């Protein structure tokens, strides 16, 4: 009875749970705890082998094993993006062709079926000029055609390894369409399977979008050191908002594996299994010796089975109908399995803001019928623009920067002034990301009107002047100001709104403990990283602390800082039938010089009927290698009847998700940080306040934090905040910001919309 209650509490839905079964299928890993096993919807037997196993149905008679092999793709990381693409075109794809012919001559079951990315295939056959890509020769094109025709090269239903939480429905839909357009081009069946590696977790809000676009299954092979979601190798994943269910596959210790049976994908009662073996980053196919070992391992696990070189789709196409007709074969898990790498996307706030405005422009253009895939300009733009969702945002700091000494601002800025090659090369990888993500796609639009709309939007984000023009404003004490349909007070200590009374709603939204627009600048130290590592890493190796941390930081930096502005002034004006409030916030010069705080910030509030527009401008931010993060916090006075703070929600990929009901703690996904589409809201009783964040796409639920741990339930008494910028990673994302002089001033826009509540 107790276990049934726990299953219901943690969002596990199983019509019945029979644990006394023969030949059980492993559901966990060695030394898994009873609670983690139960949270997976599985059975636990202390001392059993396995101790954690799927309920209801045991191992079927496995007659066929699908071996799916390839290599992980990073659009850059160990080299520039262009060099990585050229490596595939010049070395990897020719090696696949040559090795495949050798395997074919051998005549054994060990054959080539190399799984790659549709984005690379698209660039190969429609090679854009001016990007430095080594466009293929006629012979190379013929060889690639042969590879695709014979199944030596295949791809899944998405262009690359993406962080879906920072994309929108239109871009995700196009990514699937683009991948399957290539399938149709070569008379291959459409793919209904998306495979992602490296990034741990993604939002359940993606499920209805994927299902709507024909996807049957979604897979993630989690980076080897990162804490994986607490889910089985394969299960049914249900989106609590829409009720849609998708098969989800998860490999907890890397990109795949063949060393033990618990790395196999086995559906209880089903007659086919899958072994996934992906080679290291951009390394191409396994050598013949390794591939023979992989096939031998599959045969060893299932001696009587047929072992074949295969694809994800060849496994899932017959497996999905089996699960549909045998609902007790796999547990149904609900809840969010949030991306624990998503905080890296705030490391380049301009790239993220550009991506968001272009997504909005694309979606609006499609809705108006002005943009469609039949237009070659728009299609070409979209296939190049989808690059922005790829999970690699820059080079590997171990390779490009390889500097674990110059941490202080004094030493760091000396390196910049001297134009040291390792610093120039590192920045070059970030510039390349922006060029490939925006300049090249916009050029592909030619004279399409969408290009003008996006470029105008980008220009509107630029902050040309370091000072907001206050010549027409009057300085005020900012206490109980009646501005439009609101009564407002500014906290003189924080610069946030400590009173926000809506005359229309007759509702007080803010007080001294619940402020809107409060800025917080945090500096972290080695103790923070040690705490993060101990909760997040599942293995310790040489590169883990370098990738996720700041080696040798403790030699020069020990402080932990969390501050707001040290001086606040308020100004008002009436203009164009609107009332504006400008809050000017000066930061401590020592925090600005020693770390990376802006010298000053402006919060410009424009009051119009039932909405407030907020424009937040950070002025003269210092670039720093010292770990930092900055937040804009939004908290409100909760309804007196809402003791559980159930009124908080956020919009991910178009779905409004009630934060307290997402079961994030049990799943061990990112409970605190989220990529959002529209923003977040608080609504309870008869009043609702929605905060649309136009530019800052990463929000933090509860207390502002730069790290994706702890794995606990957010404390929503702190409200929500947007993460404006951080530099916490050691690789893959931007390591200091700004990296361009013109980006030292930053703009973030918000819309505060007041309406009736539906909760």
Percent of the chain with pLDDT over 70: 97
pLDDT at res. 566: 98
**693 φ/ψ angles, rounded to the nearest 5 degrees:** -105, 110
The answer to whether 703 and 713 are in contact (CB under 8 A) is no
Strand duo 217-222 + 245-251: pairing: parallel
Q: How far apart (Å, rounded) are the C-alpha atoms in residues 289 and 422?
A: 37
Q: How far apart (Å, rounded) are the C-alpha atoms in residues 73 and 85?
A: 10
CA of residue 429 relative to chain centroid, distance = 20
Report residue 221 as tokens. Answer: 């092979």
Average confidence (pLDDT) over 8-14: 42
Among 81, 149, 177, which residue's Cα sits nearest to residue 120? 81
DSSP strands (E only) in 491-610: 497-502, 507-508, 516-523, 561-563, 567-575, 578-586, 600-608
Looking at 559-619, list the stretches that DSSP marks H as alpha helix, in order from N- to C-terminal side: 589-594
pLDDT at res. 256: 87
pLDDT at res. 16: 65
Percent of the chain with pLDDT over 90: 91
Average confidence (pLDDT) over 84-91: 99
Q: State the distance between the two ends of the chain, measured CA to CA, in whole angstroms.
A: 32
Q: What confidence tier does 465 reach under pLDDT thresholds 50, 70, 90? A: low
Q: What confidence tier does 666 reach under pLDDT thresholds 50, 70, 90? A: confident
Tokens 């299960």 belong to 235
Report residue 721 as tokens. Answer: 């905040």
Lowest-pLDDT choice from 14-23, 208-217, 273-282: 14-23
DSSP strands (E only) in 383-485: 474-476, 481-483
Report residue 335 as tokens. Answer: 């809840």
pLDDT digits (tens, 9 = 90+) for 595-612: 999 999 999 999 988 899
Beta-bridged to residue 604, according to DSSP, are 582, 615
pLDDT of 5 higher than 90 = no
pLDDT digits (tens, 9 = 90+) for 687-728: 999 999 999 999 999 999 999 999 999 999 999 999 999 999
The answer to whether 313 and 320 are in contact (CB under 8 A) is no
pLDDT at res. 8: 32
Among 467, 696, 497, 480, which residue's Cα sits nearest to residue 586? 467
pLDDT of 677 higher than 80 = yes
pLDDT digits (tens, 9 = 90+) for 717-757: 999 999 999 999 999 999 999 999 999 999 999 999 999 87
Average confidence (pLDDT) over 204-208: 97
The answer to whether 43 and 24 are in contact (CB under 8 A) is yes
Who's near 46: CB < 8 A, 6+ residues apart? 34
Strand duo 673-675 + 679-684: pairing: unpaired
**307 φ/ψ angles, rounded to the nearest 5 degrees:** -110, 120
| CA-only gyration radius of the chain, Å | 26
Q: What confidence tier does 524 reach under pLDDT thresholds 50, 70, 90? A: very high
Query: How many CA atoms, within 13 angstroms, populate the side-chain half-sphere of residue 410?
Result: 3
The answer to whether 534 and 633 are in contact (CB under 8 A) is no
Q: How far apart (Å, rounded) are the C-alpha atoms in residues 712 and 43?
A: 23
Q: How far apart (Å, rounded) are the C-alpha atoms in residues 87 and 75?
A: 11
Q: What is the mean pLDDT of the chain?
A: 95
CATH 2.70.98.30 fits 474-755, yes or no: yes
Report residue 116 as tokens. Answer: 């790659």
Distances (CA, A) of 77 to 286, 386, 390, 429, 731: 20, 18, 12, 8, 8
Q: What SS3 state is found at 280?
A: coil
Give the containing element (helix H, strand E) for 164.
none
Who's near 736: CB < 8 A, 6+ residues apart? 412, 596, 623, 624, 625, 727
**Domain locations in the chain?**
2-52, 60-334, 474-755
The answer to whether 73 and 387 are in contact (CB under 8 A) is no
CA of residue 580 relative to chain centroid, distance = 35
Among 162, 187, 184, which residue's Cα sits nearest to residue 173? 162
pLDDT at res. 467: 80
pLDDT at res. 4: 30
CA of residue 118 relative to chain centroid, distance = 20
> Torsion angle of alpha carbons 710, 716, 717, 723, nearest 10°?
70
Query: How many CA atoms, within 13 angstroms, populate the side-chain half-sphere of residue 472?
Result: 8
Edge-to-edge order in the sheet of strand 746-755? 474-476, 567-575, 578-586, 600-608, 611-619, 746-755, 687-693, 679-684, 648-652, 655-658
pLDDT at res. 535: 96
No. of helices (H) and no. of strands (E), the chain? 20, 34
Q: What confidence tier does 135 reach under pLDDT thresholds 50, 70, 90? A: very high
Beta-bridged to residue 292, according to DSSP, are none
Distances (CA, A) of 147 to 140, 283, 402, 749: 10, 18, 39, 49
Q: How far apart (Å, rounded) are the C-alpha atoms in residues 583 and 601?
A: 8
Among 376, 373, 361, 352, which residue's Cα sits nearest to residue 437? 352
Report residue 349 as tokens. Answer: 């706030």
pLDDT at res. 338: 92
Among 621, 634, 588, which residue's Cα sits nearest to residue 496? 634
Q: How far apart (Å, rounded) are the C-alpha atoms in residues 455 and 438?
A: 10
pLDDT of 9 higher than 60 = no
Handedness of CA 636, 637, 640, 645 (dihedral sign): positive
Query: How many CA atoms, within 13 angstroms, populate the side-chain half-sphere of residue 93?
Result: 30
Give the containing element (helix H, strand E) for 209.
helix 206-212
Q: How far apart (Å, rounded) are the C-alpha atoms in residues 406 and 176?
A: 44
Domain 60-334 fold: 7-stranded beta/alpha barrel (3.20.110)
Q: How far apart (Å, rounded) are the C-alpha atoms in residues 557 and 550?
A: 11
């Amino acid at each position: 009875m107790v276990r049934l209650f726990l299953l219901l509490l943690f969002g596990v839905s199983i019509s019945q749970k029979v644990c006394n079964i023969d030949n059980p299928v492993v559901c966990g890993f060695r030394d898994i705890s009873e609670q983690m096993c139960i949270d997976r919807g599985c059975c636990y037997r202390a001392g059993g082998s396995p101790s954690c196993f799927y309920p209801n149905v045991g191992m079927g008679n496995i007659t066929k094993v699908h071996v799916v092999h390839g290599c992980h793709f990073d659009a850059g990381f160990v080299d520039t993006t262009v060099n990585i693409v050229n490596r595939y075109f010049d070395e990897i794809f020719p090696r696949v062709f040559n090795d495949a012919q050798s395997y074919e001559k051998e005549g054994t079951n060990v054959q080539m079926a190399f799984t790659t990315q549709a984005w690379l295939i698209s660039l190969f056959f429609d090679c854009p000029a001016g990007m430095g890509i080594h466009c293929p020769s006629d012979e190379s094109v013929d060889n690639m055609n042969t590879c695709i025709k014979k199944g030596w090269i295949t791809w899944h239903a998405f262009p690359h390894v993406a962080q879906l939480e920072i994309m929108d429905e239109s871009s995700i839909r196009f990514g699937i369409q683009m991948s399957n357009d290539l399938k149709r081009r070569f008379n291959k069946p459409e793919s209904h399977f998306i495979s992602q590696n490296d990034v741990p977790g993604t939002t359940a809000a993606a499920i209805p979008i994927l299902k709507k676009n024909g996807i049957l299954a979604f897979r993630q092979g989690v980076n080897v050191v990162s804490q994986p979601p607490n889910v089985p190798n394969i299960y049914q994943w249900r989106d609590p908002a829409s009720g849609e269910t998708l098969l989800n596959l998860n490999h907890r210790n890397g990109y795949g594996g063949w060393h033990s049976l618990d790395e196999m994908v086995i559906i209880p009662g089903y007659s086919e299994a899958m072994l996934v073996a992906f080679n290291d980053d951009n390394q191409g196919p396994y050598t013949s010796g390794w591939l023979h070992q992989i096939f031998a391992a599959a045969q060893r696990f299932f001696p009587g089975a047929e072992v074949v070189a295969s694809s994800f789709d060849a496994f899932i196409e017959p497996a999905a109908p089996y699960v549909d007709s045998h609902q007790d074969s796999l547990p149904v898990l609900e809840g969010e399995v949030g991306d624990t790498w998503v905080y890296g996307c705030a490391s380049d706030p301009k790239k993220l803001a550009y991506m968001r405005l272009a997504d909005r422009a694309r979606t609006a253009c499609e809705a108006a019928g002005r943009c469609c895939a039949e237009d070659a300009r728009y299609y070409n733009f979209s296939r190049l623009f989808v690059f922005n969702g790829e999970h690699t945002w820059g080079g590997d700091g171990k390779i490009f920067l390889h500097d674990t000494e110059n941490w202080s601002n004094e030493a760091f800025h000396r390196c910049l002034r001297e134009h040291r090659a390792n610093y120039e090369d590192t920045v070059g990888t970030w510039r390349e990301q922006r060029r490939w993500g925006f300049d090249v796609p916009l050029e592909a639009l030619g004279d399409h009107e969408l290009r003008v709309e996006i470029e105008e939007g980008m220009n509107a984000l630029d902050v040309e002047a370091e000072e907001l023009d206050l010549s027409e404003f009057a300085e005020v004490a900012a206490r109980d100001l009646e501005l439009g349909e609101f009564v407002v007070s500014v906290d003189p200590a924080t610069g946030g709104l400590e009173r926000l009374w809506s005359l229309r709603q007759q509702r007080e939204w803010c007080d001294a403990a619940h402020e809107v627009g409060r800025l917080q600048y945090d500096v972290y130290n080695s103790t923070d990283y040690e705490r993060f590592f101990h909760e997040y890493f599942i293995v310790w190796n040489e590169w883990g602390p370098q990738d996720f941390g700041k080696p040798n930081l403790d030699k020069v930096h020990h402080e932990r800082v969390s501050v707001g502005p040290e001086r606040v002034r308020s100004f008002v004006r009436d203009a164009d039938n609107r009332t504006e409030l400008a809050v000017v916030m000066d930061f401590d010069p020592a925090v600005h010089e020693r770390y990376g705080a802006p010298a000053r910030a402006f919060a410009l509030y424009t009051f119009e009927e039932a909405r407030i527009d907020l424009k937040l401008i950070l002025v003269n931010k210092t670039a720093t290698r010292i770990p930092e993060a900055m937040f804009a916090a939004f908290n409100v006075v909760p309804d007196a009847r809402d003791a559980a703070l159930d009124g908080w929600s956020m919009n991910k990929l178009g779905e409004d998700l009630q934060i307290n009901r997402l079961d994030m703690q049990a799943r061990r996904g990112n409970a605190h940080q989220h990529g959002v589409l529209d923003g977040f809201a608080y609504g309870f009783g008869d009043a609702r306040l929605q905060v649309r964040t136009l530019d800052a796409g990463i929000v933090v639920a509860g207390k502002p934090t730069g790290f994706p741990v702890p794995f606990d339930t957010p404390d929503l008494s702190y409200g929500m905040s947007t993460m404006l910028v951080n530099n916490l990673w050691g690789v893959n994302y931007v390591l200091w910001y700004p990296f361009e002089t013109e980006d030292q001033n930053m703009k973030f826009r918000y819309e505060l919309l007041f309406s009736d509540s539906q909760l």
